[in-house]
Amino acid sequence: MNRYFFALNLSHKSKKQLIRWRDSELALPCHPVAGDNLHITLAFLGVLTDEKKQQLLTGAGQLADTLRHEDITPLKINRLGYFKRPKVLYLANDDIPDWQNKLAAGLTKQALDAGLNQEQRRYLSHITLYRKVRALPGELPLVNMLTPIDRFSLFQSLSTATGVRYQAVKTWHLTSSQSAG
């Protein structure tokens, strides 16, 4: 069963920049996230019926339309963090712009309206770099990157022989009236 989530898409250039930084500044002996899987999660959805998926696709399209007049500023990635229980090392933008908060809150509301459980906690914008991190390096490197964002997608998580792969089901542009699917 495939699991779904909404996330901000990172450009190929941004992914390469993040991987280059990760490999030069961290190079940890654990499980790095594949470059193609780098993203910024907006809302976890879990397993979806076709009906709920269609409901969420419609709602996401309407939400994207309401954000077309927003100033979609680049994200300033400026902090390295660690989630202890899932043992995940991530990069974050401490200053979350209004457009990103509106999008995350709107998609979470869409999920709740579709009857899906959502965690009741403050949204934390982050990019997972490593999984199964047993111990942090003694000194964490500083980070300061501007990451332009122009779209978000509904992704499905696919299990493959080489590991998990995230595939976009539908994509919405935040900066024009285009929509790719």
Using alpha carbons only, give the angle 23, 28, 30 rounded to the nearest 5 degrees.
Answer: 120
CATH number corresponding to 3-180:
3.90.1140.10
Q: Assign 49 to helix, strand or coil.
A: coil
Q: Supply 17's token pair.
A: 């920049």
Q: Is the pLDDT of residue 178 over 70?
A: no
d(CA 168, CA 162): 18
- Residue 113 pLDDT class (50, 70, 90 cuts): very high
Residue 39 annotated among the catalytic residues of the structure: yes
Q: Which two tokens stand for residue 164?
A: 């998990």
Quote the pLDDT of residue 179: 44
Among candidate residues 12, 31, 69, 126, the one labeled active-site is 126
Model pLDDT for residues 51-78, shown as the tens digit of each residue: 999 999 999 999 999 998 899 999 999 9
Task: Please answer whether residues 156 and 3 qualify as being in contact, where contact means their C-beta atoms are separated by less than 8 angstroms.
Answer: yes
pLDDT digits (tens, 9 = 90+) for 10-46: 999 999 999 999 999 998 988 999 999 999 999 999 9
**pTM greater than 0.85:** yes
Which pLDDT value is given to residue 168?
Answer: 98
Which candidate in 12, 31, 39, 69 is catalytic?
A: 39
The domains of the chain are located at: 3-180
Give per-residue pLDDT as tens, 125-165: 999 999 999 888 778 888 999 999 999 999 999 999 888 99
Cα(82)–Cα(89) distance, integer angstroms: 5
Distance between CA atoms of 38 and 159, rounded to whole angstroms? 16
Neighbours of 176 (CB within 10 A): 9
Percent of the chain at pLDDT > 90 equals 80
Those residues with Cβ within 8 angstroms of residue 93's Cβ, 6 or more apart along the chain or in another chain: 75, 76, 77, 78, 79, 125, 147
